[in-house]
Structures are given as C-alpha cells and as structure tokens.
Amino acid sequence: MKLRQLAVVALVALPVAAWAETPNITPGSWEFVSTTTVSGDMPIPDQTDTEQQCITQEDLDDADLGFIEEEEGCELLDQDTSADGLSYSMVCRADGGEANIDGDMRFMGERIEGSVDIMTQSPMGELNMQTQIEGQRLGDC
C-alpha cells in the first residue's frame, strides 16, 4: 500500500453506523482541504489536496456519512462518535510495514476541522504523517 493511499484510507469513508445522534453537519456542498506534512527517514514534500462533495440530509440520517475507511489489512481499534465529532484509532499492516493511525474530527455545523496522525514503520524506515483537515460548507448542492 502506498503511503499516500494510506493517508486517503485514513481520511475518507467507512460508514459510521454507531452515530448516537445526527452529526452536527449542515447538508450542502462542502469543500475539504487537507494538508499533509511528512517527517522521518525519507524526505517527502508537504502536500495539499482539495475535494468537494455534496452531503445530503439523507446521508446524515442514514448514517452513511463517514470519515474512516477500513481496508484490507487494517483494523479499527477504537472509535468514539457523537453529534459534535469523531475520534478513532486504527492499525494497518501491509508489505512488511505497519501504520498506527489516530484521527479526530470536530463537527461545527457549517465547518469541520480535524487531524489525522499516521506513524509508519516499513522497510524504507520510519515516517510520521500529520494531516490537518478543514471543511467548509459552500452552499446548496
């Protein structure tokens, strides 16, 4: 699994069926900006990605909205969800390496903020990835 794919895996979408109540997210068109900084044995330049998506009330009501994707080789260790946020820990193992992932998202109506920290051990050495995520509602879909 490539390092970049691992970051995307950690950020984007496992349906979260454990919502006790509807997330504090206003439906509409959203823009998410993520900035990833990597430190460790292998130099990798900072990367910023921007993604837009439509979040509907149906997505929120059906608990189909999620921020974690559990792929093959990954195990979700801990998850705490509430209307105001989500925090989780997971571990992924592939190609002789291991990644420990800790994430935290805060839902504030028309804004979302969060971070994902990934510590990897691989045959190429140790890498630490810190990703800051900011989401802003742009308007209706």
In this predicted structure, what is the pLDDT of residue 26? Answer: 94
In this predicted structure, what is the pLDDT of residue 100? Answer: 92
Closest C-alpha among 99, 80, 92, 104 to residue 11 = 104
Considering only 10-24, 28-42, 44-58, which range has the smallest mean pLDDT? 10-24
Whether the per-residue pLDDT at 64 is higher than 60: the answer is no
Q: Within a 10 A sphere around the Cβ of 31, how many other Cβ atoms?
A: 13
In this predicted structure, what is the pLDDT of residue 96? Answer: 76
Q: Show Cβ contacts of residue 98 under 8 Å, excluding neighbours closer than 6 positions.
A: 91, 92, 120, 121, 122
- Over range 110-131, report the average pLDDT: 87
Whether the per-residue pLDDT at 86 is higher than 50: the answer is yes
In three-state secondary structure terms, 113 is strand
In this predicted structure, what is the pLDDT of residue 136? Answer: 96
Q: DSSP secondary-structure letter at 86?
A: E
In this predicted structure, what is the pLDDT of residue 127? Answer: 83
In this predicted structure, what is the pLDDT of residue 80? Answer: 85
In this predicted structure, what is the pLDDT of residue 2? Answer: 44
Of residues 62 and 90, which shows the higher confidence score? Answer: 90
Considering only 31-35, 78-82, 135-139, which range has the smallest mean pLDDT? 78-82
